[in-house]
Amino acid sequence: MVCIMDEALELEVGHRVLEIGAGSGWHASTIAEIVAPAGAKREEWGHVYTVERVPELAEFARRNVERAGYGNRVAVICGDGSLGHLEKAPYDRVLVTAAAPEIPKPLIEQLENGGILVIPVGGLHLYQTLVRVRKKDGKVFEENLGGVAFVPLIGKLGFKP
Amino acid sequence: MEKQAWEGLIQRLIREGILRSPRVIKALRRVPRNSFLPERVEAHAAMDSPLPIGFGQTISAPLS
């Protein structure tokens, strides 16, 4: 899934990326390696903000990210990812690593014009579709990238805990 | 995890056309999954399946 999502996001050096669902921090680190590679100048670096609902996992992700050497390019935030992360918006790219019943509005609002959002949408463990959303001139274009199976997105605008 | 096992998985994903952009391929080479796993499942890092990381959550599979 990491491969499919990283390809679908059309990531470039300098992108500011929001990830919902940090988990282990692995996915966020692969993205940091693309948007802020060691070979590029620091002022050209993008940044990854990753939101995790479970405090213990946020801590686990933070430790992993630091140990892998991406602590200066990945910020792990503990909170309700279904609301996005307004403080650092807008983002060039947004990805959600859990399935939502529908696309939470704040995630589209926090997306930069010209930006891409990739999110699995569907029922609990069933009939989920990976959706790519492109925002152009304030309009939103959706594209179906195929069937997937993700853990549920829990939150105010996700599934109820 | 053996380095060859991770590289083997990457090669397979390239052959199958899933990994296409050089920058994503490079990122996966530089950030292998094993350093993000709890010790008890570390040996399975190059398996193309989600693995448990506690609290009912999983680390994503590279592909599926």
Residue of B nearest to A22 (CA): B59
Residue A154 lies in a domain: no
**Which residues of B are part of the catalytic machinery?**
60
Measured over the CA atoms of residue A103, residue A115, residue A35 and residue A90, the dihedral's sign is negative
CATH number at residue A32: 3.40.50.150
Q: Is residue A115 part of a domain?
A: yes
Residue A159: DSSP 8-state: B
Does some domain include residue A23? yes
ipTM of the complex: 0.89
Would you write out chain A's pLDDT as a tens digit for each of its 161 residues?
888 899 999 999 999 999 999 999 999 999 999 999 998 999 999 999 999 999 999 999 999 999 999 999 999 999 999 999 999 999 999 999 999 999 999 999 999 999 999 999 998 767 899 999 999 998 999 999 988 888 889 999 998 87
Tens-place pLDDT, residues B16-57: 888 999 999 999 999 989 889 988 888 888 888 888 898 888
Using a CB–CB cutoff of 8 Å, tell me whether A54 touches chain B.
yes
Range of the domain at A121: 2-148
Q: At what angle do helices A26-35 and B22-30 cross, to 10 degrees?
A: 130
Q: How far, in Å, CA of A133 to CA of A135, rounded?
A: 7
Strands A128-136 and A139-148: antiparallel
Q: What pTM, to 2 d.p., does this model score?
A: 0.94
**How far is A26 from B34, CA to CA, in rounded Å?**
9
Residue A51: closest CA among A28, A34, A73: A28
The answer to the question of residue A157 being in a domain is no
Tell me how many domains chain A contains.
1
How many angstroms separate the CA of residue B46 from the nearest CA in chain A?
13
Residue A158 lies in a domain: no
